[in-house]
Amino acid sequence: MKYLFLLLLTAVFNTLLAQDITFSSDKRLAQPSVNGEVKAENIIEIKSSLKTPLNGKKTYTWTINGSSEPGKGWELVKGTTLSGEKIKISFNKIGNYSIGLTIVAVSGEDENEVSGEVEDFISVRSVFPELAALYAQKPVPNYVKLVEKSSEYTVKPKFANDPTPNLFLAKGYLGLVKSGNPEPRFETAIEDCISSFAAAKELDKNGVIMDDEHQRFLDELQQYLLNENILVNYDADPKTNPESYDQLVEYIDYYSQTTSAPVCVSLMQGYFKYLKKDSKGANLLWNTEILKLKKFVNLDEKTAYGERYKDELGNEIILSTVDLKVLKLGAMKVAQIMKTRDNQNPKEACKLLSIVEPFLIDDTEFATFYSKEFNSCQE
C-alpha cells in the first residue's frame, strides 16, 4: 500500500511539473522558405523554461509535430540541435506546427523527467502576393476577381489551415457590398463576407489577423456594420418597425462574429432577449457575461485601431474603437431599461455602468449620459 501511495504521489508530482514547462519564441508567425534559400522571415527561435527548478544535469529532447526528424516541413538552423535549452528552426512548408519538449534531470541516483507540448505553437503562412496585388489594385480593386481567386485558394488542401485566403475572400465580398455590385450571384455578399471572416478567425492560431493590413480591413468591416446598419436601426421598435428591428438583430449577430471581444455585444444581445420576454436569458448576459470585462488587463499599448488587452482567458486581443462604441450603445440601452424596470431605482443599472465606465472614460457621449441620467452613480 505504501509503495502504491508513492507511485501515485510521483505521478501527481510529475503532472504538476509538466504544467510548469513553458515555451517562448521571438515570433509565432513565419513564412516558408523558397528553393532552399533561408531568410530571417523563415526562422523562429524557441526557448523553454521551468517555473519549478530541476536539480542535476539536464538533457533536452525537442519534437516538432511529434517528430524529432527534420525534413517534414522544417529544418534545424546551422549550429542548432534538438538537445539544447533553445532551438532555431527554419520552415519550408505552410501549416501549423506543435512544439514538444522532454527534459530529464539526473542528480546522483535521482532522475526526474518532465514533458510539455503546445499544439499549433507556430503558424507558417504564405503572404499570397497574387491576392494582395488584386486587393491593392488602383484606382479600384477588381473585387469580383479577388473573390474568385480567393475562393480557389480556400479549397486547396495545401492552404486548408491558413486563414489568409479567407481574409482576402472577406475583403472581396465587402468590396462588392460597398460598391453595390448587382450580380445575382453576389446577393448574399455581406453574409458571405462575415462567414469568410469567421472562418479565418477560427483558423488563426497565432495572430495573422493582428497584422496591420488585416486590422485595417477589420476596422473597415466593423465601421460598415456599425455606421451603415446598427446605428441606423438602433432605436427600431419590434412592434412598430419590425423590419428595421430584425436588421438590427441580424447585424449585431454579424458584428459578434468579427470582434475578438464578444462581451462587447452581450448587452445588446441581452436587450433582444428582454424584448422577447426572456428575462432570465437577458439577466444572464447582463449580470454574468459582462463580468468578463473585469478580468480584462490593459497592456498599455495603443494601435491605430484600438488598445491591446488580455481578455478573461489570458488571450492577447485588440479592443477596437468600434468595439467600445458597440459596448457603449448596449450599456446605455440596458441601463435605461434596468432603471425603468426597477421603478427608477438605479442600483442595478449602476452596477452595470461601473463595470463598463473604465473602458468608456474618454467617450464624451457616455460621460454625458452617465452624469445626466444617473448622476455618475453618486448616492
pLDDT for the residue 359 = 96
What is the rounded CA–CA span in Å between residue 119 and residue 245? 43
CA 10 to chain centre: 38
Q: What are the cell numbers at 283?
A: 439577466
Closest CA to 349 of 370, 365, 367, 366: 370
DSSP 37-66: B--GGGEEEEEEEESS---SEEEEEEEETT
Q: Which residues pair with 74 in a beta bridge?
A: 91
Residue 232 phi, psi (nearest 5): -60, -35
Any idea of the CA torsion for 254, 260, 261, 265, to the nearest 10 degrees?
0
β-strands 95-107, 57-64: how paired? antiparallel
The answer to whether residues 135 and 153 touch, using CB atoms and an 8 Å cutoff, is no
Q: What are the cell numbers at 27?
A: 515570433
Residue 320 phi, psi (nearest 5): -75, 165
Burial 225-257 (b: 16+ CB within 10 A, else e): bbeebbeebeebeeeeeeebbebbbebbebbbe
- The beta strand positions in 304-372, using DSSP E, are 306-310, 316-320
First to last CA, the chain: 64
Per domain, the residue ranges of the chain are 2-124, 129-377
DSSP 77: P
pLDDT for the residue 16 = 34
> Does pLDDT of 296 surpass 60?
yes
Helix (H) or strand (E) holding 11, with range, is helix 2-20
What is the rounded CA–CA span in Å between residue 263 and residue 323? 9
pLDDT in tens, 5-55: 333 333 333 333 334 788 999 989 998 888 888 899 899 999 988 878 888
Q: Which residues pair with 61 in a beta bridge?
A: 102
Closest CA to 90 of 30, 18, 1, 12: 30
Question: Is 2-124 CATH 2.60.40?
Answer: yes
pLDDT in tens, 53-62: 888 999 999 9
The answer to whether residues 355 and 294 touch, using CB atoms and an 8 Å cutoff, is yes
What is the rounded CA–CA span in Å between residue 10 and residue 12? 5
pLDDT in tens, 142-172: 999 999 999 999 999 989 999 999 999 999 9
CA 5 to chain centre: 43
Average pLDDT over residues 312-337: 95
The answer to whether residues 302 and 215 touch, using CB atoms and an 8 Å cutoff, is no
pLDDT in tens, 226-244: 999 999 999 999 999 999 9
Average pLDDT over residues 102-124: 90
